[in-house]
Structure 1
């Protein structure tokens, strides 16, 4: 089943849902992941994109456009989400987008709506049980993500050496792990939980907090203000907490 799910995601590049035939000017155009179970994931049985961030997008559409159905969703990954904000194809991005000082120079971010931690997924039969045991090993990471930099910084502190292979999508990294092209798969723990199976395990190690925010273009101040106001209200009125509970998300603490 896991292989079928991964294959379904790999053949999907851009997905438009929620009445995409209508005039997009009447809709909130949001980019979400389609390969992260629990956050933004294309259900292989229904073909629909579902998850925590998709539900937040619907709430935003309701509060900004007047209806949760006034939403146009586009599937994005770490290499396309920023570019589609830059060219105006999207109004906002909810795609496990970690807030960093460097990224704030390119995009506006809302208050954090979720906090996770980096983790490591390995094969059970490889005998790797700690971060230190990865010395000399190859780690699979996503292109344009913060993971590689953080792991390099940590490896220098621990006095170990790591190699990295970068991939455009998470399913590609999981396939690389299963096939032995990488020794570990690293990204945020809540994301890794969706790719764990009977042959793999999440190490106990947790690294630096990853705060997710809704990204908007620096040039679109009205949208930035509307999104930031809505997210602030959703944090205050408990909507974010309820959606997080709905999708059984715990900030990477015990998702596994």
Structure 2
């Protein structure tokens, strides 16, 4: 189902709450969440509508990754409420796995060869591509239009390197400004500190409003996996649970609930076999409902 875009006032209020929760790494409120005992401790984003977002009206964290975390708790711990959520961002999610504060990170965590040397990952539960959000009055219509301009990206994310590779291929130069949270990047775009906001397209849809537009440009497929500590006894259990959720239709149902792309690994492999470098026009993702009405 479609999700209502945030009003500017709600966005500012929720951005402040999200930034505070992430900065503190505090346990987050969630309906029915257990706070003690044999629980699955999972880190989720709190500033990504549709994936992990702290609702400013209820204070609860909601989205696809929260629902997947509940499913993991149900399938591994035997109780969907045997779950403790903690707000994380691109910088803190890995550190909290390293220090044992989390059992798993379900936080738009892209699987890369480099990260697989530090963490274990489940098979992908979601696949996206990188996108670019600009102001409607910016005059920017494609990646080439960003030549010499500044792009806001998240600290410790893969976006910067992927954008630089794409820019080099076009023979253009980009400047980058890195921020700890997505709300900070959106605010930087609104006030003109950056010319564009780049991260995965499904994330950007949650930050699109009537003053911004999502460019048609999309590249570098991003596979999200559940991260666990290297060698964790949970690694196999998490992967098996994700596989079962994919096989029994649970994953597809949850993606539909949040209006997210239904593209799968099979879709991506078919695109690549056909010579595509991403998930372009005509693939399954284009036919899936998009939250916020699309670009």
TM-score, L = length of structure 1? 0.95
Q: Secondary structure at the match of 1:229?
A: helix
Q: Secondary structure at the match of 1:136?
A: coil
- Name the residue aligned to 1:90: 102
Structure 1 residue 223 and structure 2 residue 234: aligned? yes
- Residue number among 132, 137, 151 corresponding to 2:163 in the alignment: 151
- Residue number among 22, 27, 38 corresponding to 2:36 in the alignment: 22
- Name the residue aligned to 2:15: 6
- Residue number among 250, 265, 269 corresponding to 1:239 in the alignment: 250
Instruction: Within 5 Å, give how 1:39-118 maps onto structure 2.
Output: 39-118=51-130
- Name the residue aligned to 2:273: none
- Name the residue aligned to 1:202: 214
Poorly superposed stretches of 4+, deviation over 4 Å: 251-254
Structure 1 residue 212 and structure 2 residue 217: aligned? no
> How much has 1:4 moved relative to structure 2?
2.7
Query: How many residues in Structure 1 have an aligned counterpart in Structure 2?
Result: 253
CA distance in 2, matches of 1:248, 1:211: 18
Structure 1 residue 164 and structure 2 residue 176: aligned? yes
CA distance in 2, matches of 1:9, 1:90: 19
- Name the residue aligned to 2:199: 187
> How much has 1:20 moved relative to structure 2?
5.3
CA distance in 2, matches of 1:130, 1:113: 29
Q: Determine if contact 2:132/2:215 at 8 Å carries over to the other structure.
A: yes
> How much has 1:46 moved relative to structure 2?
0.2
> How much has 1:145 moved relative to structure 2?
0.3
CA distance in 2, matches of 1:10, 1:110: 28
- Where do 5+ consecutive residues of structure 2 fail to align? 1-6, 264-284
CA distance in 2, matches of 1:3, 1:128: 25
CA distance in 2, matches of 1:83, 1:227: 20
Structure 1 residue 248 and structure 2 residue 262: aligned? no
> How much has 1:126 moved relative to structure 2?
1.1
CA distance in 1, matches of 2:57, 2:26: 15
> How much has 1:10 moved relative to structure 2?
2.6
Q: CA RMSD in A?
A: 1.3
Larger relative strand fraction: 1
- Where do 5+ consecutive residues of structure 1 fail to align? none
Q: Secondary structure at the match of 2:21?
A: coil
Closer/same/farther in 2, CA of residues 45 and 35 from structure 1, 3 Å limit: same
Q: Secondary structure at the match of 1:12?
A: helix
Please list the CA deviations of residues 56-89 of structure 1 after superposition, one character each: whole Å capped at 9, or x if unmatched.
0000000000000000100100000001111111
Moved more, 201-210 or 246-255: 246-255
CA distance in 2, matches of 1:41, 1:231: 21
